[in-house]
Amino acid sequence: MSRLDPVFARSRAEGRAALIGYLPAGYPTVDGSAERLTAMIDSGCDIVEVGVPYSDPVMDGPTVQAAADLALRGGFRLRDLFRVVEQVSSAGGHAVVMTYWNPVHRYGVDRFARDLAAAGGLGVITPDLIPDEGADWIAAAAEHDLDRIFLVAPSSSTERIATTTAATTGFLYAAAVMGVTGARDRVGVAASGLVARARECTDLPIAVGLGVRSGDQAAEIAGFADAVVVGSAFVSRAGEVAKLRELAEELADGVRRPMVPSR
Amino acid sequence: MTSETHTDPGRDQHQHSEHDPEHGHFGPYGGRYLPEALIGAMDELAAVYEKARLDPEFIAEFTGLLRDYAGRPSLLTEAPRFAEHAGGARIFLKREDLNHTGSHKINNVLGQALLTKRMGKTRVIAETGAGQHGVATATACALMGLECVVYMGEVDTQRQALNVARMRLLGAEVIPVTTGSRTLKDAINEALRDWVANVDTTHYLLGTAAGAHPFPMMVRNFHKVIGQEARAQIVDQAGRLPDAVTACVGGGSNAIGMFHGFIDDPSVRLVGFEPGGRGSEPGEHGATLSEGSPGMLHGALSYLLQDEDGQTIEAYSISAGLDYPGVGPEHAWLKDTGRAEYRPVTDAEAMDAFQLLSRTEGIIPAIESAHALAGTLRLGRELGPDGLIVVCLSGRGDKDMDTAAKYFGFMES
């Protein structure tokens, strides 16, 4: 059982997809990020991804890189992550963390899991950790009741989808396109095929991310996935809380009108 | 540094404690810390390489290119006037500077370009620091009719402008990288981002023995010829095995190729010299093995220059080719097991050796290689007059004239 199960049970019961919003901790400031993540939840995000700013984010495009650079230049420390997660969780939000692996390795995998669980975090999305290298994380996540959210990509073989989904809990993260993060005009085609292939291996909820920026795109993905992840589009609107709320509301509306997939 | 290694919280938890270099595990180091989107490409590369390395046709093609195109075997040249400054020890130079394109980089590039064709891919991307690997890659792509894109930190495009012109002449597109420290580390980040988006048509021709499996093992194997030739040549020319072989270490490709020729000779010390820059403070050097701690960068667990939170600390060196905060995982393993030693050499020591070799032997080394030469002078004094050292002269210094002229004030009228 995952502590995220009720979130997906509710969205399924409502005949819609869940909305997952991303913002890096420390962007634009530590308290500012907690305030914004909480606003995103109030305005319709079912789950938030709290990003860990990192010096070498190879899966991220310019928008997230610039935000991470700003957070690090502003003095962000890893211990600040737990403060942000705690603030979001105590406001009633469901928070998972998205992090490159070296900061966790450096902090200590078990210590990180312990401190994240204590802050109320529910799981970790690991863009550069595959289950093959993740035995210590898999053990620590089980010990501290955290979800381990691994990724599959359009290039993943059927065999890799099977082994990755077997190691995953909470939900599976399907990368919609081959590429880095950043808003795009079109995201749907490769993603629907990947979700279909993943469904043959698992009953886990499947979230689709990378490139989504509008309510219409969210509606399209809601037609075949259990959750829609939006990152860069939130980051680029993080300057004004009102604009963040506006986007969250538009996306929350999108996931509530799932389009029937065209064949 | 040993004490730091043992208190690192992440290290002992790592699952792959078994030593299995053929599958990318050098003791606890190596592995594949990469996005899932790239794992298929790594599997394909490993499979194609495994097949090719046993295929007589591939072996003949590769060794033929090394001989007829790159100009191998490279010479082993004794440097007696230079050695007078090393306490009388005999010093031999393994002349990788005489290879086509002017450095050892051509060995690996020819091997991977052949693999690119075997995979049916038509586009090659590469990173470069000093420009040596970029020039070598552009050369191999011109030879084999492959599209070539080279990512180079903006800082490096300025200090190595001549190599940028060479790459463009050879038909490559050079993209200046303006993120992060704008040097080699950031060029690799950009190349990885390109690769994720274009992996169907594109091979990432990584230039050093680092990164995710199979790169460290494969790149090392393409460079093994350096050490194999050197071993036969020194036995022939000096009548015995050397007391030590030496090389500079940035990512560590020339060093690992050199060391592997002697790794099974326990009497031969393997000594790598890292860029000590302007001092041992963070940000002032690139001495990853001497000053760093275990961490992941660009796909592998190895030693890394990082802060308390696991953020990469930017490296510094006068030499663009050594200006890298990571190092190949096999070097991390050789350090921990004690089979190889790694020591820092400062900018000033390297530049002294750069000028000394030029003036005593009429050979202008790359500033990268000058780090190995400076370390070898020190090592020679330790070994005394009976000492015998083979140093890998990994590249020639023509590309460094701008840096050298400024450093020595040759441009002043």
- Chain B within 8 Å of A152 (Cβ-Cβ)? yes
Token pair of B290 as six digits:
């001497």
Instruction: Answer yes or no: do A107 and B31 touch at CB < 8 A.
Output: no
Instruction: Answer yes or no: do A101 and B296 touch at CB < 8 A.
Output: yes
Tens digit of pLDDT for each residue in B67-89? 999 999 999 999 999 999 999 99
Tens digit of pLDDT for each residue in B222-262? 999 999 999 999 999 999 999 999 999 999 999 999 999 99
Instruction: Compute the average pLDDT of residues B320-334.
Output: 95
Q: Any idea what the Cα angle at residue B299 is, between residues B297 and B301, rounded to 5°?
A: 65
Which chain B residues are Cβ-neighbours of A64 within 8 angstroms? none
Question: Considering only A94-108, A176-190, A215-229, B390-404, which range has the smallest mean pLDDT?
Answer: A176-190
Contact A172, A152 (CB under 8 A): yes
Spatial separation of the C-alpha atoms in residues A129 and B33, rounded to whole Å: 5
- Helices (H) and strands (E) counted in chain A, each on its own, are 12, 9
Of all residues in chain A, the one with the smallest CA distance to B194 is: A179
Tens digit of pLDDT for each residue in B356-376? 999 999 999 999 999 999 999
Q: Which of A231, A233, A214, A126 is nearest to A170 (CA)?
A: A126
Contact B369, B321 (CB under 8 A): no
SS3 content of chain B, % helix, strand, coil (to 5): 50, 20, 30
Instruction: Answer yes or no: do B36 and A152 touch at CB < 8 A.
Output: yes
At which residue do the structure tokens 């001495």 appear? B287
Spatial separation of the C-alpha atoms in residues A154 and A177, rounded to whole Å: 7
At which residue do the structure tokens 């995952």 appear? A2
Q: Which CATH architecture has domain B71-103+224-408?
A: 3-Layer(aba) Sandwich (3.40)
Q: Which residue type is seen at B92?
A: F
ipTM of the complex: 0.95
Q: Which of B38, B202, B191 is nearest to B123 (CA)?
A: B202
Tens digit of pLDDT for each residue in B9-44? 433 344 445 799 999 999 999 999 999 999 999 999
pLDDT at A187 over 80: no
Task: Look at residue A190 in the predicted model and tell me its pLDDT.
Answer: 80
A5-251 is classed CATH 2.30.110.10:
no
Task: Look at residue B208 in the predicted model and tell me its pLDDT.
Answer: 95
Instruction: Compute the average pLDDT of residues B126-155.
Output: 95
pLDDT at A204 over 90: yes
Instruction: Compute the average pLDDT of residues B299-310.
Output: 98
Match domain B25-63+105-204 to its CATH number in 3.40.50.460, 3.40.50.1100, 3.10.20.30, 3.40.640.10: 3.40.50.1100
Instruction: Compute the average pLDDT of residues B385-401.
Output: 95
- Chain A within 8 Å of B37 (Cβ-Cβ)? yes
pLDDT at B320 over 50: yes
Of all residues in chain A, the one with the smallest CA distance to B181 is: A55
CA atoms within 13 A on the CB side of A28: 7
Judging by DSSP bridges, how do beta strands A47-51 and A18-24 pair with one another?
parallel
Q: Which of A110, A54, A64, A63 is nearest to B298 (CA)?
A: A54
Active site residue B267: no
Task: Look at residue B344 in the predicted model and tell me its pLDDT.
Answer: 98
Task: Look at residue B14 in the predicted model and tell me its pLDDT.
Answer: 42
Instruction: Answer yes or no: do A108 and B41 touch at CB < 8 A.
Output: no
Q: Which of B74, B79, B98 is nearest to B359 (CA)?
A: B79
Strand partners for B175: B151
Instruction: Compute the average pLDDT of residues A180-206.
Output: 87
Instruction: Compute the average pLDDT of residues B139-153.
Output: 97
| Rg (alpha carbons) of chain B, rounded to whole number | 20
In a mutagenesis test of the B interface, which of A54, A55, A99, A187 is the best target, namely the one with the most B β-carbons within 10 Å? A55
Active site residue B224: no
Which chain B residues are Cβ-neighbours of A179 within 8 angstroms? 193, 196-197
Active site residue B50: no
CATH 3.40.50.1100 domain range(s) in chain B: 25-63+105-204, 71-103+224-408
CB pairs < 8 Å spanning A and B: 133
Instruction: Answer yes or no: do A155 and B193 touch at CB < 8 A.
Output: no
Task: Look at residue B2 in the predicted model and tell me its pLDDT.
Answer: 37
Instruction: Answer yes or no: do A175 and B36 touch at CB < 8 A.
Output: yes
Q: What is chain B's mean pLDDT, rounded?
A: 94
Tens digit of pLDDT for each residue in A66-104? 999 999 999 999 999 999 999 999 999 999 999 999 999
pLDDT at A54 over 50: yes
Task: Look at residue B155 in the predicted model and tell me its pLDDT.
Answer: 86
SS3 content of chain A, % helix, strand, coil (to 5): 50, 15, 40
pLDDT at A252 over 90: yes
pLDDT at B66 over 80: yes
